[in-house]
C-alpha cells in the first residue's frame, strides 16, 4: 500500500482518550530530545505529519499502551478507502468511531479477528500484533524467519507473527527492546508505535520526513540494559536485593520493569532487600518464576474461559510490595495453612495454597486437577490481573492481584501488610 504523505489530513491523529483535546504538533512535555533520544525524532515526525497527536496538557503519553482499534484507525486515516461499516465482527458496531477503519482493515487483509468472531478493538496491541499488521500492509513479502534467531526470546513469537517479525527486523522496522530481546508479547506503547510506523514509511515505502529541530535526524536506540550477573536460583535477585527484572524477563518475558524500584517508596532496600517501608521476615522464602511455563500451558488449554482469549499468558506482578507480601504469605502458610493471616485477618489478594512435594510442575498440576484451585488459577490469564508465586519449606502460595488489591498492599506495606 502506498500513499503520499502530503495527502494526509491532520484528522488522522488519534488520542487514547477521544474526549481530551489533542495538543498541537510542536513539543510534548513528556518527550525530551535528550532523555528520549531513541524516540524523540519519530514522535515529532508522526505528530507533525498528523499521524499521531498528543493529549491535553501537552503530553504525548509515550509509555501508554495503544489499542487495536486505535492502531487500525491511524492506518485507515493514512491509507484507507471507505469500505462501509459492516466489519463482520460481533464487537464492532457500525456506529463505533473505529467501524470504518476496522471494516477497511479486515476487507484489505490488514487485520483479522479472533476465533470467536470478535476483533477486540479495545484490547491493548501487542508488539507481535503490531508488526504483523504492518507486514500485511506491505503485502506480506517473502522473508526468512532466521532473521530473528539472534534474539534470545525468538521462540516466544507466535507462529502467525514469525514472518512479520523476521521481515520487520530485516527491513530495520524494529530492532528489539534490547540487543537480545524482541518482547513479542509485550504491549506496544505509543512511542514504540510512532518509531516503528515512521521507520516503516521511511525504510519500506520510501517516505522522506523533514528533519526535526531539537532532535537527532536518525533514530537512536535506547542503551540496552547491561546483562546482569545471573542471580542464584534461590531468589532471582540482584546483589542489592532488588528483583533482577532483566534476568527474569530473559527467562520468561513476564514484562517486569527494568527500572526497579518501581512503587516502593524507601530510598534504599530494607533488611529484606525490597524497596518498601515494610519490615517483615521473609528470610528463606523464594520467588518461583519457574512456574510460569506450566501456568501458561494450563491457560492455553482453557482459552474459552479467559475473559480476553487473545491474551492467555501469565502476568507476573510488577511491584516490590506484591512480591514481598507473597513471600510473607508463603512463610505464614507454613505455620498456619489457611486462607487467612495468622492473626485471623483476611488475605489481601486472592490465593492458592499447596503443601507437599516440591517442584513447579507438580504444584501447578495439583492446582489444575482441583476445580476450585483451577478456577483461581484461570485468573492468571486475565489481562487486568497479575500473579506471583513463592514457596517456603514445601509450602507454595500463588497470589492473584487486581487493581484494588494492588493498591491495598502498597497502602498496607508500611504496616507490615496488616490493614490499619
CB 354 within 8 A of CB 329: no
**pLDDT at residue 123 tops 60:** yes
CB 337 within 8 A of CB 407: no
Place 2 in a pLDDT band, splitting at 50, 70 and 90. low
Q: What pLDDT is recorded for position 214? A: 52
Q: What pLDDT is recorded for position 356? A: 84
CB 49 within 8 A of CB 8: yes
In order of their start, the domains of the chain are 5-203 (no CATH), 245-415 (3.40.33.10)
What contacts 78, CB < 8 A, 6 or more positions away? 3, 8, 12, 51
Choose between 323 and 265: higher pLDDT: 323
Choose between 212 and 373: higher pLDDT: 373
* pTM of this structure: 0.49
CB 50 within 8 A of CB 198: no
Task: Summarize pLDDT for 170-190 with one digit per residue, the tens.
Answer: 999 998 888 788 888 888 889
Residue 45 sits at the vertex; the CA angle it makes with 43 and 47, to the nearest 5 degrees, is: 70
Q: What pLDDT is recorded for position 404? A: 80
Task: Summarize pLDDT for 67-80 with one digit per residue, the tens.
Answer: 999 999 999 988 87
The share of the chain scoring above pLDDT 70, in percent, equals 77
Sign of the alpha-carbon torsion through 300, 305, 309, 312? negative
Give the DSSP letter of residue 355: E
**Buried b or exposed e, range 32-61, using 16+ CB within 10 angstroms:** eeeebbbbbbbbbbbbebbbbbbbeeebbb
DSSP code string of 133-176: HHHHHTT-----GGGGTTSTTGGGS-GGGHHHHHHHHHTTS---
352 pairs with which residues across the strands? 398
386 pairs with which residues across the strands? 401
**Does residue 46 sit in helix, strand or coil?**
helix
Amino acid at each position: 500500500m502506498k500513499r503520499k504523505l502530503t495527502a494526509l489530513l491532520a484528522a488522522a491523529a488519534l488520542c487514547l482518550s477521544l474526549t481530551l483535546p489533542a495538543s498541537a504538533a510542536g513539543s510534548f512535555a513528556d518527550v525530551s530530545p535528550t532523555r528520549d533520544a531513541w524516540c524523540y525524532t519519530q514522535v515529532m515526525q508522526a505528530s507533525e505529519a498528523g499521524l499521531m497527536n498528543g493529549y491535553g496538557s501537552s503530553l504525548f503519553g509515550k509509555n501508554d499502551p495503544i489499542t487495536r482499534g486505535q492502531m487500525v484507525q491511524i492506518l485507515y486515516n493514512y491509507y484507507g478507502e471507505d469500505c462501509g461499516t459492516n466489519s463482520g465482527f460481533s464487537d464492532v458496531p457500525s456506529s463505533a468511531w473505529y467501524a470504518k477503519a476496522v471494516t477497511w482493515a479486515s476487507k484489505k487483509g490488514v487485520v483479522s479477528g479472533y476465533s470467536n468472531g470478535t476483533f477486540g478493538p479495545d484490547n491493548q496491541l501487542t508488539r507481535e500484533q503490531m508488526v504483523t499488521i504492518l507486514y500485511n500492509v506491505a503485502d506480506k513479502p517473502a522473508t526468512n524467519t532466521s532473521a530473528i534467531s539472534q534474539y534470545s526470546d525468538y521462540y516466544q513469537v507466535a507462529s502467525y507473527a514469525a514472518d512479520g517479525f523476521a521481515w520487520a527486523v530485516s527491513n530495520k522496522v524494529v530492532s528489539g527492546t534490547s540487543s537480545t530481546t524482541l518482547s513479542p508479547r509485550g504491549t506496544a506503547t505509543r512511542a514504540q508505535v510512532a518509531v516503528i510506523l515512521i521507520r516503516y514509511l521511511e525504510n519500506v515505502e520510501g517516505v522522506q520526513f523533514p528533519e526535526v529541530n531539537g532532535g537527532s535526524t536518525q533514530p537512536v536506540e535506547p542503551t540496552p540494559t547491561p546483562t546482569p550477573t545471573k542471580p542464584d536460583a534461590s531468589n532471582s535477585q540482584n546483589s542489592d536485593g532488588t528483583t533482577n527484572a532483566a534476568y527474569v524477563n530473559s527467562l520468561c518475558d513476564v514484562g517486569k520493569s527494568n527500572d526497579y524500584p518501581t512503587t516502593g517508596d524507601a530510598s534504599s532496600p530494607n533488611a529484606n532487600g525490597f524497596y518498601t517501608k515494610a519490615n517483615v521476615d521473609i528470610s528463606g522464602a523464594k520467588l518461583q518464576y519457574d512456574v510460569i511455563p506450566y501456568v501458561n500451558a494450563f491457560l492455553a488449554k482453557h482459552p474459552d474461559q479467559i475473559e480476553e482469549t487473545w491474551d492467555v499468558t501469565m502476568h507476573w506482578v510488577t511491584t516490590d510490595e506484591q512480591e514481598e507480601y507473597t513471600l510473607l504469605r508463603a512463610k505464614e502458610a507454613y505455620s498456619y495453612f489457611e486462607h487467612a493471616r495468622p492473626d485471623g485477618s483476611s488475605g489481601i489478594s486472592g490465593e492458592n495454597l499447596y503443601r507437599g512435594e516440591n517442584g513447579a510442575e507438580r504444584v501447578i498440576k495439583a492446582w489444575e486437577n482441583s476445580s476450585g484451585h483451577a478456577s483461581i488459577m484461570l485468573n492468571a490469564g486475565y489481562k487486568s490481573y497479575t500473579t506471583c508465586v513463592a514457596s517456603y519449606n514445601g509450602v507454595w502460595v500463588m497470589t492473584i492481584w487486581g487493581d484494588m488489591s494492588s493498591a491495598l498492599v502498597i497502602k498496607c506495606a508500611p504496616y507490615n501488610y496488616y490493614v490499619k
